[in-house]
Structure 1
Amino acid sequence: MVELTGNGLTIADVRKVCLEGEQVFLSRKSLQKAEKSREAVQKIVRDGRTVYGINTGFGKFSDTLIHEKDVMQLQLHLIRSHACGTGEPFSNEVSRAMLLLRLNALLKGYSGIRKELLDRLAFMLNEHITPVVPQQGSLGASGDLAPLSHLALALIGEGDVIFQERKRTSADVFKELGVQPIVLEAKEGLALINGTQAMTAMGVICYAEAEALAFQSEMIASMTMEGLNGIMDAFHPSIHEARGYPQQCAVAERIRNILADSRLVTKQGDLRVQDAYSLRCIPQVHGASWQVLDYVKEKLEIEMNAATDNPLIFDGGRTVISGGNFHGQPIAFAMDFLKMAMAELANISERRIERLVNPHLSDLPPFLSPQPGLQSGAMILQYCAASLVSENKTLAHPASVDSIPSSANQEDHVSMGTIAARHCYVIVQNARRVLAIECICALQAAEYRGADKMASATRAFYEDARLIVPSITEDRVFSKDIEHAAQWLKKNKAGWTTSRIKREPDGWKRNA
């Protein structure tokens, strides 16, 4: 089980809970902090102090005072009115991550909500009651208001959920399980929806998939090196140490390890003096993407443990400050940065695909065809990769540079971070398909060169991959091969992945 404290939640923990189904439990110390914060809210209501979101309206209505008898109705109206999401729902994994991250943030004890509500969020996670949350509609400031309102609707029995693989109303599921919907009290609705948990949840899932794909890209690129008789001198440690980027050095080291016993790679001067950039610069380009991944991971893990609602309650309620921690700019930048990093992994992969299929760039059969002319072979596989790479270039346009004022100009600068995270996810899926295409072509090239001459690591990968994608002996519907290979990679079962690598102080190294 994963203990939630409001601090110290990691991306690995999110994987365990949201992807592997591990249960959570709440820290007793954190629950005590939350209860003290709740007592402060109740005292504010009793004393009639004017505090934003507790007994005032929201946004431009912040100067409208709300009578004590109406504060509960205020929270209900807030959730209903702000549930304006549209479009396709987030995946179950992302919605579960939203639940987890919002629960963790509320456990910090600055939000003033009841233990009952915290327990219900944990109950939903542990019972796999997953809110149905539309993807579109968040500006990424004032919190992810629309998505998180749909999450809150599920808590109060007015939303839809996925339970036991069926879409149902949360009211029906709660009734079946013998629990009552939550009735929101002062500040609780606002505490649920003022936060960056939609963009951060989407970002964490993006990162988890991107990290695995970055490792897999090195194995696939190594196989391409064998298919093209690539020159290993470009991976010599001295070159990379001379530049000094640890991620670049680590990529070069991993590829040297992968290809250590290959009889298909060459030395400079054996066949040619140097390779094209898409081979020679793998450490530099992939290493730069790893720099971005490291940056993004740091920002996500800060945000996952941040108090991002408004107002925040300090000093037992003596200090209640209305601020802007809900603004998603840090995650918006991180997601836009990750978009570029993953788009470039796909970009350089597509160039390697071109070298594998273009008869003017290698001595391999034209388009890896078993009968050039009569059969087209991998010709249109490269077209597909080029299309995906081009689509990624448009999706990589930064969302974070846009802003549209809202709430009568009270909320006059927003991050669009949730858009950045959503587009990042599409880029990751496209990049995986491009790398799946490179994998298919590299398998065929390695087979042509002689699989028995491959390195031990790439040969093991080759044999596993051939169970997914058979040899091209005759033209067939390659769309199926692309999807099968992409799903194989997505399931994280394809060789050199995070399960086989650990982080050391001097960079990424393979487990012994």
Structure 2
Amino acid sequence: MSSRIVEAPGVAATGASSPGPVVLDGRGLDVADVVRLADGTARPAPGPDALRRVEESWEAARHIALAGRVYGRSTGVGANRDEAVPTEAAAEHGLRLLRSHAGAIGEEVPARQVRAMLAVRANQLLAGGAGLRPTVVTALCEALASGAYPVVNEFGSVGTGDIAALAQVGLALAGEHPWAGAGAPEAQQLDNNDALALISSNALTLGQAALALDELRGLIAATQVVAALSLLAVDGSHEAYAAPVHLARPHRGSREVARRMRALIGAADRPTPPLGRIQDPYGFRCLPQIHGPALDAADALRGVLEVEINAAAENPLICPEDMAAYHHGGFYQAQLTLALDHFRLAVMQVARLSTSRLSSLNEPAYTRLRPFLADQEPASSGVMILEYAAGAALGDLRAFAAPASLGHAVLSRGVEEQASFASLAARQTLRACGAYRLVVGCELVAAVRALRQRELRPEPGLPAARALELAESVLDPDPADRPLTDDVRAAAALLDRFTDVWTDAGTVVGTDVQRGSGT
């Protein structure tokens, strides 16, 4: 689903330095930690206090289930919630529940996404509200450390719990479902007190959303670097990024984008008006107003994710302090679905703006070059095809941006009459990564060609100068008509390195920011 290239988990065992630990305590896991655990560049370390919470929750859950009816432990689930499970059948009930729910279908989920799910679920369990046996948590951490992961299929959730995928994890832990990779943990003895407690979570959706946010957030940053090169290639005005403009309309994301653009290209906080055209097309002039909301949407999504990946959201919630099991709907992922939908729509706007700049780069009125940045041969097409290719990729991105929250389902004999479709929102966000990357790769190819043909270079030492050097090191300088597939592929891969350039630009502080009026 995602186009990002990462090393396989477990590479540290082949001779590289051992990855550092990420402490899992059900309190402080963040999106970056999930990504590191998914990539195998960090090892999980359960916090001692958190393990103690798991132990207390496990003991409390068993006593509560013996004393009264507890959903999924002494009863069936879904529309079977009122059907009691006899005491003598309780142990087998847990395995039957896992077997019946482990019916996910479709393609196998990639290893990186499964590992993200394991990281999220282990951390949630360490929040101490699930009431399942502590050895399950340590087994999940062992799998993350070794690189082993259960085989999980794609479809089975509608945003009210990833019960099918997590049931497959449960059967794998019990020794009844396959693992991939080496180092699978020893089989666990799971019963009625463990089954629903394990699967009552949206851990796969949350892990996928964390991976998608990490990649797209970096690509949005890289896109601004590409836009800076395009701006230089067309002698664009700096006025759209002037500090007074964004102090007068102080949206946080827009102000930050404008500030970084000034740093990227070496523009003054209060630039001198241009001698040429009065104002640029929207692709340049409205960049802060379009990139800014995307940054804000990314921040909002991260906030939702970091609540959820540290949440004890299992139903029922086991509360040792009260010796009670609280039945609730905390698994319903409305916040996450809406945040993902909002983010994808914002990303779509940013990508569409990239195609606008690509059109400007093909236009002699802006570049003072031949149409489509062609060479001197008669009727050469130059980079003409890039507009078509970018438009096609943008079409996929537009489809992925469709709000998943518009979905509806009535399930389990009408007892579950609503669904958030957060799982679909997460998959669509992951799928958006590859299409988005290609759109911006097309712009980068054209921007670098225009700068080369005009023999323009940013001032040495500027972040934009570093970006151009990186791009020139991988992009073919030949302007003749030729296939541009490899150029776009190289440019798209380079965007991950442009994120560092954007970060460096953030360390440059303008005078308005120094006076305390910046973001």
What is the CA distance between 1:364 and its match in structure 2?
Answer: 2.4
Conserved 8 A contact 1:346-1:389: yes
Conserved 8 A contact 1:461-1:494: no
What is the CA distance between 1:78 and its match in structure 2?
Answer: 1.6
What is the CA distance between 1:395 and its match in structure 2?
Answer: 1.9
2:352 aligned with 1:333: no
CA distance in 2, matches of 1:361, 1:159: 61
Conserved 8 A contact 2:348-2:398: yes
1:168 corresponds to: none
What is the CA distance between 1:268 and its match in structure 2?
Answer: 3.6
Task: Write the mapping of 1:103-502 to structure 2, written as runs, cut at 5 A.
Answer: 103-141=122-160, 143-163=161-181, 174=184, 180-260=186-266, 268-316=273-321, 318-359=323-364, 362-371=367-376, 373-454=378-459, 456-490=462-496, 492=497, 495-498=500-503
User: Percent of counterpart pairs with the same letter?
Assistant: 29
What is the CA distance between 1:130 and its match in structure 2?
Answer: 2.0
TM-score when normalising by structure 2: 0.89
What is the CA distance between 1:3 and its match in structure 2?
Answer: 1.2
Instruction: Out of 37-46 and 283-292, give the one that drifted further.
Output: 37-46
What is the CA distance between 1:158 and its match in structure 2?
Answer: 2.7
1:66 corresponds to: 85
Assess, with a 3 A threshold, how the Cα gap between structure 1 residues 26 and 464 changes in structure 2: closer, same or farther: same
**SS state at 1:25 partner:** strand
Assess, with a 3 A threshold, how the Cα gap between structure 1 residues 498 and 303 changes in structure 2: closer, same or farther: farther
2:8 corresponds to: none
CA distance in 2, matches of 1:64, 1:238: 67
Segments of structure 2 that go 5 or more residues without pairing to the other structure are 1-20
What is the CA distance between 1:44 and its match in structure 2?
Answer: 3.3
Segments of structure 1 that go 5 or more residues without pairing to the other structure are 165-172
Assess, with a 3 A threshold, how the Cα gap between structure 1 residues 138 and 373 changes in structure 2: closer, same or farther: farther
Tell me the alpha carbon deviations over residues 291-315 of structure 1, each in whole angstroms, 9 at most, x when there is no partner. Answer: 1111111111111111121111113
Tell me the alpha carbon deviations over residues 149-191 of structure 1, each in whole angstroms, 9 at most, x when there is no partner. Answer: 2222322223333315xxxxxxxx54xxxx5311212231111
CA distance in 2, matches of 1:163, 1:218: 39
Instruction: Out of 340-349 and 365-374, give the one that drifted further.
Output: 365-374
CA distance in 1, matches of 2:421, 2:293: 25
Assess, with a 3 A threshold, how the Cα gap between structure 1 residues 503 and 56 changes in structure 2: closer, same or farther: farther
Tell me the alpha carbon deviations over residues 464-494 of structure 1, each in whole angstroms, 9 at most, x when there is no partner. Answer: 112222124323322222222222324x466
CA distance in 2, matches of 1:60, 1:503: 59
1:95 corresponds to: 114
Assess, with a 3 A threshold, how the Cα gap between structure 1 residues 426 and 507 changes in structure 2: closer, same or farther: farther
Tell me the alpha carbon deviations over residues 295-349 of structure 1, each in whole angstroms, 9 at most, x when there is no partner. Answer: 1111111111111211111134621111111111111111111111111111100
CA distance in 1, matches of 2:434, 2:339: 18
Match of 2:369, as an amino acid? L
Conserved 8 A contact 2:438-2:488: yes
Match of 2:412, as an amino acid? S
**SS state at 2:180 partner:** strand
Match of 1:99, as an amino acid? L
Alpha-carbon RMSD across the aligned residues, in angstroms, is 2.4
Tell me the alpha carbon deviations over residues 335-382 of structure 1, each in whole angstroms, 9 at most, x when there is no partner. Answer: 111111111111100110111113465422211122455532211111
2:30 aligned with 1:25: no
Conserved 8 A contact 1:231-1:274: yes
Conserved 8 A contact 2:467-2:498: no
Conserved 8 A contact 2:362-2:384: yes
CA distance in 2, matches of 1:160, 1:270: 68
Conserved 8 A contact 2:221-2:499: no
CA distance in 2, matches of 1:381, 1:246: 33
Conserved 8 A contact 1:226-1:454: no
Tell me the alpha carbon deviations over residues 21-56 of structure 1, each in whole angstroms, 9 at most, x when there is no partner. Answer: 211111111111111111122223444x22111111
Instruction: Out of 63-72 and 344-353, give the one that drifted further.
Output: 63-72
What is the CA distance between 1:430 and its match in structure 2?
Answer: 1.1
CA distance in 2, matches of 1:20, 1:444: 38
TM-score when normalising by structure 1: 0.90
Match of 1:162, as an amino acid? A
What is the CA distance between 1:117 and its match in structure 2?
Answer: 0.8
CA distance in 2, matches of 1:502, 1:152: 46
Conserved 8 A contact 1:356-1:364: no
Assess, with a 3 A threshold, how the Cα gap between structure 1 residues 204 and 350 changes in structure 2: closer, same or farther: same
**SS state at 2:106 partner:** strand
CA distance in 1, matches of 2:307, 2:171: 27
CA distance in 1, matches of 2:334, 2:209: 13
Assess, with a 3 A threshold, how the Cα gap between structure 1 residues 131 and 502 changes in structure 2: closer, same or farther: farther
Instruction: Out of 316-325 and 112-121, give the one that drifted further.
Output: 316-325
